[in-house]
Amino acid sequence: MRRRDFLGLIGGAAVWSRSASAQQPTLFRLGSLKLTEPSGKSVHINVALVTFIRSDTHISGANAELGLASGKSQGVLENVEEVMRLVMASHRGEMSWIKLTEPNGKPIHINVSQVTSVRFDTRIPRANAELGFASGKLQGVQEHVDDVMQMIAAIAGQKAKPP
């Protein structure tokens, strides 16, 4: 092999490796919340896996309940407003949440990216709409399906606008 061919081969390999590394997929930052369990121990929760946050909890000693994508629930000492403030601060608006009302009148915050269905034919007492989550859980809300869909569409419209 001649010297010129060899140098061309080495130079081409260097350019190829540089362009290949430039095409690596973008890594997304997943926000983690540091909250407090009812027992007083700290717990770190990946915000992307939280499906809903509500104050109407049956977990002893908890002020708020977080529904997780795994289908489990996590009780925390922080109140709903504090948890939502931390969620928004950690994601700077990258995630979409809507505030709805449970059938008992209590507010609930819903992570729209985890919603898989919105139905009007619900069997949940006093609910006008039923939301299905990726975890398989269902949540009834007082709002009508059209109202829920308008909120989701408004969020989608905000994301579609150029910065």
Per-residue pLDDT tens for 79-94? 999 998 888 877 665 6
pLDDT at 20 > cutoff 80: no
pLDDT at 16 > cutoff 50: no
Give the phi and the psi of residue 117 in degrees, each rounded to 5. Answer: -155, 150
Which pLDDT band holds residue 15 (cuts at 50, 70, 90)? Answer: very low
Show the CA angle centred on residue 147, arms to residues 76 and 155, nearest 5°.
70
Ranges of each domain in the chain: 33-160
**Is the whole-model pTM more than 0.75?**
no
- The least confident of 85-89, 151-155, 157-161 is 157-161
Q: Are strands 73-76 and 129-133 parallel, antiparallel or unpaired?
A: unpaired
State the CB neighbour count (10 A cutoff) for residue 68.
18
Q: Are 135 and 71 in contact (CB under 8 A)?
A: yes
